[in-house]
Amino acid sequence: MGVEDHRSKAPTSVTFAVLTVSSTRVDADDYSGRAIIDLLTSAGHRLAKKIIVKDDIQEIQRALRDFIEDGGVQAVIVNGGTGVARADVTLEAVAHFEEKQLPGFGELFRVLSHQEIGSAAIMSRASAFVSEGKPVFCIPGSERAVRLAVTKLIEPELGHLVWEANR
């Protein structure tokens, strides 16, 4: 069975959750979280939940655990905290949830980022993995990076990835 066969069996609509990691954002100015929601819902996917947490390992873990344990959530997009600053702890927080890494996501994201921002792309630690049958994407918090990740990588394969992770 090839990629096109798999895609034909994949759901066209996925229920997703958004976790924004930021010590400064509130719902009113969470432009990146809003961009994720707008881009995915306009493509036919459904928002289950959205939450903002501070750059704190335990808060991030608590929120991600809730999303992963929620039977109504099929995929999670985490935005923010993926850089190299001391406060950027998203990847450290989510590491123990990783069952299957998706290294191609981070690799392709950095290639696409390099085309837009040049060598600064090396500072991105964008990554993705599967946990309990749910794809989890960890992407930078900038709106530009969110739009790039969602339009070029996440949305085109979201249904396919959910299907693959659960067969």
Give pLDDT tens digits for 87-108: 999 999 999 999 999 999 999 9
> Mind listing the pLDDT tens digit for each residue in 97-147?
999 999 999 999 999 999 999 999 999 999 999 999 999 999 999 999 999
Distance CA 144, CA 156 (A): 18
Strand partners, 127: 138
What does the angle CA 55 – CA 59 – CA 62 come to, to the nearest 5 degrees? 145
Where helices occur in 10-150 by DSSP H, the ranges are 31-42, 57-69, 90-94, 103-117, 143-149
> Mind listing the pLDDT tens digit for each residue in 1-59?
677 777 777 889 999 999 999 989 888 899 999 999 999 999 999 999 999 999 999 99
Cβ distance 52 to 59 under 8 Å?
A: no
- Parse the chain into domains and list their residue ranges: 3-165
Radius of gyration of the chain (CA): 15
pTM over 0.75: yes
CATH 3.65.10.10 fits 3-165, yes or no: no
